[in-house]
Structure 1
Amino acid sequence: MEKDRKSRDSTEDILEIYKLLVEMADRVSQRRQSANSFYLTVNTAIIGATAYVAREAEEANTWAISLAGIAICILWIRAVLSYKSLNSAKFAVITKLEQQLPVSAYSDEWQFLTGVDGSRHTPFHKIEVLVPFVFIFVHLVQFAIELPWEVTWEWTKSLFC
């Protein structure tokens, strides 16, 4: 009788820890979405402001702003990968705890999603990380358009000639 009660208490403790971990994983996903929204907004503002300034000002050196946009995109990529590794660790712990519970919801869901050969599902981070690369391309185009090529060419020639 005492052993059954301890076993039940242990299962209840594991279930409480499991619930907490699932909630924490959900919060990480929410923070991840907030971070993505932030970076998307900042990049959109930079691109819009750079295009506006370049159109309105005669002598606008917006190439430096484009470089800042590229730096922000690199930080965005790092954030995506960081959130991915954080969630991966949380789900590894969750699936390990599921082995001690009567139901393995996350493990079963992942098994269903990936299928036998793993080709059924594309993880979100693989798509999510492409967005900053699109913005990097746009920033590079803006940079190339606004860079004073004549001055750069003359400076380069003076170095090597």
Structure 2
Amino acid sequence: MAEISDSLWNDGVGAEDYRDARATYHAAIFEQYRLCVEMADRVSARRNLANTFFLTLHTALLAFLGTWLSQDHHRDLPVVLALAAVLVLLGMCVTWWFTIRSYHQLNRGKFEVIGALEERLPARTFVAAEWHALGEGRDWRVYLPLNRVERWIPLLFAGAYILGFAAAMAL
């Protein structure tokens, strides 16, 4: 946290640089804090939108493949074509997983900055107090961080694709 704090604050700018000094300086810090919290919320919303996109895409493709393969004249799909389809689906799972990971890393950085800003505010409600109230994510009965759950979804889809391909080849 100290490293973030060192890169966060402008050493050349302080309360004395503002016309109304302390009040304006603290208002500026609070406004930046508010903006950072809002941006972290927007990243979370974009992450949820990305998850919805990938989940919808996989569901639609599975529905299409299920319908298409249920027709008798499509059941004898060449192995090469089936393998190519599975590889594309696995590639989409990998992309999904890395997208989730990237959003998680971006939010982690934003929360570190928010925590450093809270060091200059009267209360550390968002990063320190809320995280403490949630048991810091250590006990799943108190709070289960979403990133621990959501990163398994693409892996479950990938596993289902591999098992489905193996089962289809065994028939």
- Normalising by the smaller structure, the TM-score range is 0.7 to 0.9
* Structure 2 unmatched runs, 5+: 1-14
TM, length-normalised to structure 2? 0.77
Shift of 1:49: 1.7
TM, length-normalised to structure 1? 0.82
Question: Is 2:169 the partner of 1:137?
Answer: no
* Cα separation, 2, equivalents of 1:110 and 1:72: 33
Match of 1:98 among 100, 118, 127: 118
Q: Which moved more, 1:57-66 or 1:87-96?
A: 57-66
Equivalent residue for 1:10? 25
Q: Which moved more, 1:86-95 or 1:119-128?
A: 119-128
* Cα separation, 2, equivalents of 1:91 and 1:128: 19
Equivalent residue for 2:64? 49
Match of 2:150 among 112, 123, 128: 128
Equivalent residue for 2:107? 87
Match of 1:108 among 129, 144, 148: 129
Shift of 1:146: 3.7
Shift of 1:68: 1.0
* Paired positions, count: 147
Q: Give the direction of change, closer, same or farther, for the CA distance of 1:63–1:45 in structure 2 (3 Å limit).
A: farther
Equivalent residue for 1:71? 91
- Deviation readout 1:19-40 (Å, 9 max, x if unpaired): 1101100110010000000000
Q: Which moved more, 1:52-61 or 1:40-49?
A: 52-61
- Deviation readout 1:109-134 (Å, 9 max, x if unpaired): 0111125x933433210111111111
Q: Which moved more, 1:47-56 or 1:74-83?
A: 47-56
Percent identity over paired residues: 31
Equivalent residue for 1:59? 76
* Structure 1 unmatched runs, 5+: 151-161
Equivalent residue for 1:40? 55
* Cα separation, 2, equivalents of 1:58 and 1:146: 10
Equivalent residue for 1:156? none
4+ aligned runs moved over 4 Å, structure 1: none
Equivalent residue for 2:36? 21
- Deviation readout 1:40-63 (Å, 9 max, x if unpaired): 011111222222222211432433
